[in-house]
Structure 1
Amino acid sequence: MARKAQGNFLIRVLLNPFTQFGISIYLGFCLLQAQSGGQAEFLGSMGTVVGFGLTAILGLSAWLLPVATGFIALCEIRGQSLASRTYYRILGLVIISAVIIGSADMGGGLGGTVWAVLEYTLGKYISLAFLLLFFAFCLAPKEMKQVFYRLNRYLRSTFSVVPGNRTAESSASSEGKLDGSEVIIQDQTTSHETQANNEETRINGHDDLTAPEIGGQSDQPEPTTLEPDPVQKYGDERPDLDFLHASQEETDSREEVKETSARIDAALKQFEIKGKVEETVVGPMVATYFVSPKGGTKISELERHLPDISRFLGHPEDAVRLNLDIAGREGKIAVEVPIFNRRIIGLRDLIKDTSTDSAEMLLPLRIGIDTLGSPVCIDLAQLPHLLVAGSTGSGKSIAINSLIVSLLYHGSPDSIQLVLIDPKMVEFSHFTGLPHLSGEVITETDQAVAKLNGLTEVMDERYRVLRQSGKKNISEFNEIKGNPSKMPSIVVVIDELADLLMEEGKLIEGPVVRLAQKARAAGIHLILATQRPTADIITGLIKTNVPGRLTFRVASKVDSNVILNQKGAEALQGKGDGLFLNPAAKGLTRIQAPMVSVKEIERIKDFWKHV
């Protein structure tokens, strides 16, 4: 045991960033001593051996080794955690440098050997081209990937268009009038494939953004010809509600409610709290018992004994919750007690029950059923962004799917475009091929960065068009009579924000915060989800600019405080039991999120693909 402890201590010392920085300095002096031919042995014979050994293996590129280790050590000293792929990139830079220098017989044994093999196999010039390309990828992978993405897109667009059609398109541009302002647009294609390509190009931030050029005073020296949105090809047809499952029928819980009500009265009497249960409402996950306190009774007394009451009722000490924010029940204390036979909520009943209210909304989200059995439906356009949190097993992923399906039942691809970012690679895979998607489901972090930055450019372009047209938001712009180029709403859904922030940090947080701050009037809205609602993930800027919160069960009171600014989410029951914070309403609303299966999503996707 003592030897094992000594070994662990030695490993910790060697992995310490200050030790690594000292090693990098030592390696640099070893190389300097070797370069002097061993005449100035200020590091002794060991330094000479190390210096000559590194030079023999790596040649001139051996000088990159102390530079690389010193850079890594400084990053760790400053608290900047590097991804594992960064270490491989740095190692690749050193080895590739040795091989490139090996072409001039100065790459040491490693560089010279690898270069000899490459030169014999591929030839001198092809080998150098490949080595320089790999070197650039290791040095700046994100920038190089963007170059290849744009080159690939350019080549595909160049060779996939028939010359005759291109000539017809270029000569078919026309002019129109829009409320007395001149509009310069290009002729548009009505094919669904062109619609997807146009939207993908627009989101990725290219110059051919979807927005008309409104005449009048312009900041540009010349009018810019921009491609409008494709002609609307979808009518008023929407998916059938029969594609969705109905809610589970209510079970007879009168005996359970009656017994629990009597036990609450007994518990209040035992703890000398003056009050009595006067009303009971059974919801899908809890039964709410309204207690009327008598004169002189303090709510703090009931809160203090709440864990004891919960134990008295046969539940964990944090299972029973007080709700003081129920409208129409002023003067009564709502005690929420979990029921043993929870009811599964289907999205079909929610859509049916909220059809009247959602008709006036631009982006209706059916959140779920509250504790009193009433449906909760909000307009994302008014929210305007939503933050979703929940640990494993809390029902967060299914709830996000139900929010997306809620949008699919309301709007066609002409009016709603979805950007789905899924670092886990499996959560949104069943939405692949959906016509509402802008491009493909994004699974790589560098693609997510490029997409979000492209959205900020779309936002800026839309604001320029709104300013020229004299409108405040896209709803007013789309209502312009005779407008041939309406702007669809764009909903960005990020399933695991923590993974993106851990890998890219400010590169992700920057565009996310900018969209949250400004994108509302431009019709771009965010739904951000995370399993880890910690302070380093949900930063102050994100909390300030994303006012809507939907929280399922989290790991601790600290996480609940981060997401809701109060405790409570750690005591939820899981499987869709959540708390919703609407900035336009008072307090928290406890809800049961609806259940949506993959088969239901597939049926809805097939409908939109063949409509």
Structure 2
Amino acid sequence: MNFFKKQKAKGQLMQAFKSGKLHLTYKNGKTEYFIMPKIHAVIEKRSKMVYVFSIPTGLDPKEIHKKKWVFQQQFGPRVDVLQENKKFTLIVYDGAYQEAFQWSYDDIAPVVYDYKLPIICGKDKNGEWMSYDMVKHPHLLIAGETGSGKSTQVRSILTTLIKTLSPDDLHMYLADMKRSEFHLFRRVEHVEKVCTKPSELMVILQKLKREAQKRGDLLDENEVMHVDDLPRKLPYVLLCIDEVALLKKDKEIMNIVEEVSSIGRALGIFLILSMQRPDAKVLDGKLKINLTVRMGFRCADDYNSRIVGTPGSEDILASEAGRMIMKLEQLQEVQAPFLEDDKAKKVLERYKVERKEEKESIREETNKNQIFGVLDE
């Protein structure tokens, strides 16, 4: 922020103090003097302006909170006032405020109808839908603390994909390392496997490696660059791993995940990775580069938000569940839709089929690999 813009911003804050009589007043004879709050910093951030000030001793801090309306009159309705003893932080948000809202496929369908692999994100600050085609922007990282909206975002993305594509066009593999999320999707026709153990995930990854090899051979034989250009249509494959950070010590698994992130786009094999706490040891090298889209919900601090690649997500308030900083072509603030468990269950029920053999087949392959100590290539 240049000097003149900063001085103008300070002047606006000083005017708010005067308008609300947020100062001490004393007289010396007939002359009246004001002791004003002291402005320590004015910081311009993406989508917001942050003012840090302290009040003079003797001024009741409650007056600042009681007169929040003064700041709203001066700067607009979207303001937050935070206090730490005598020091206050005033956050002034740009533009309109997109409130939390419910997931509704009737609203989403017109937005994603012409995408091959639609990812619904949410609404921007102007209430406009944000979405993209994963075929063009492969691989997605979703991160955020407990209660930030990360889990419901994964749920709404997967549910939207199931509603939009047929089981012949999309095969999904779901890895639920904390056993807390993907039970909803068991027996859904699109879902090939749901696993909860690293050994089961390794079986899936080996299967995807073989599938990738077959698809690569088909591209070579037909002299084309992408599976969409093959004479016979192949289904897209989506691997979604919840709490991928729990796998960081399993180098073999993470190496295959990184390999899929490198070659998957042309082969029609895509990743969605989510984690509660960003981990630099997981998000390093090629994997981080290949996760071309990032959704950063509330993070603990700027270090964590930088790991995700969504600076500003550390400033999201606990009261702003579902708010994220999204990195697609540029950083943007987005409000994700809320899809609760019970509603998701009702939506998914019509897509469920009997599939008793699924769990047994995974267990058999897992045991086979453990007995021989080697995985098929």
> Is the structural similarity TM-score above 0.5?
yes
- Change in 2 beyond 3 A, CA 1:320/1:348: farther
Which of 284, 297, 300 is equivalent to 1:555?
300
1:145-294 equivalences under 5 Å are 268-271=11-14
| Pairing 1:348–2:110 present | no
State, as a whole percentage, how many aligned pairs show the same letter. Answer: 27
| Pairing 1:373–2:127 present | yes
| Pairing 1:579–2:325 present | yes
Decide whether the 8 Å contact of 1:389 with 1:552 is kept in 2: yes
Decide whether the 8 Å contact of 1:366 with 1:377 is kept in 2: yes
Distance 1:539 1:428 in 2: 26
Decide whether the 8 Å contact of 1:363 with 1:407 is kept in 2: yes
Equivalent position amino acid for 2:324 in 1: G
Q: Which residue of 1 aligns with 2:186?
A: 432
Q: Deviations over 1:556-580 (max 9, x none)?
A: 110011111x631111134111111
Q: Which residue of 1 aligns with 2:237?
A: 490
Report the more deviating stretch, 468-477 or 343-352: 343-352
- The higher-RCO structure (CA 8 Å, 6+ apart) is 2
Q: Which residue of 2 aligns with 1:607?
A: 350
Decide whether the 8 Å contact of 2:50 with 2:90 is kept in 1: no
Distance 2:90 2:191 in 1: 40
Which of 521, 530, 545 is equivalent to 2:290?
545
Equivalent position amino acid for 1:414 in 2: D
Distance 1:450 1:609 in 2: 23
Which of 66, 73, 91 is equivalent to 1:320?
91
| Pairing 1:387–2:141 present | yes
Distance 2:101 2:289 in 1: 34
Decide whether the 8 Å contact of 1:490 with 1:524 is kept in 2: yes
1:491 aligns to what SS in structure 2?
Answer: strand
1:307 aligns to what SS in structure 2?
Answer: strand
- Change in 2 beyond 3 A, CA 1:519/1:381: same
- Change in 2 beyond 3 A, CA 1:453/1:321: farther
Equivalent position amino acid for 1:577 in 2: R
| Pairing 1:303–2:44 present | yes
How far did 1:301 drift? 5.4
Which of 403, 414, 436 is equivalent to 2:157?
403
Q: Deviations over 1:488-508 (max 9, x none)?
A: 000111111111224x2x112
- Change in 2 beyond 3 A, CA 1:460/1:507: same
1:527 aligns to what SS in structure 2?
Answer: strand
How far did 1:420 drift? 0.3
Distance 1:396 1:415 in 2: 26
**Which segments of 5 or more consecutive residues in structure 1 lack a partner in the other structure?**
1-264, 274-299, 323-334
Work out which of the two has the higher radius of gyration on C-alpha atoms and give 1 or 2.
Answer: 1
- Change in 2 beyond 3 A, CA 1:489/1:267: same
Decide whether the 8 Å contact of 1:319 with 1:571 is kept in 2: no
How far did 1:588 drift? 1.0
2:188 aligns to what SS in structure 1?
Answer: coil
Distance 2:177 2:221 in 1: 38
Q: Which residue of 2 aligns with 1:567?
A: 311
- Change in 2 beyond 3 A, CA 1:609/1:314: closer
Decide whether the 8 Å contact of 1:321 with 1:337 is kept in 2: no
Equivalent position amino acid for 2:104 in 1: L
Q: Which has the higher helix share?
A: 1
Cα RMSD for the two superposed structures: 2.8
Q: Which has the higher strand share?
A: 2
How far did 1:471 drift? 2.3
Decide whether the 8 Å contact of 1:552 with 1:569 is kept in 2: yes
Distance 1:319 1:364 in 2: 38
2:288 aligns to what SS in structure 1?
Answer: helix
Q: Which residue of 2 aligns with 1:155?
A: none
- Change in 2 beyond 3 A, CA 1:535/1:489: same
**Which segments of 5 or more consecutive residues in structure 2 lack a partner in the other structure?**
1-7, 17-40, 54-63, 66-70, 72-78, 83-87, 354-377
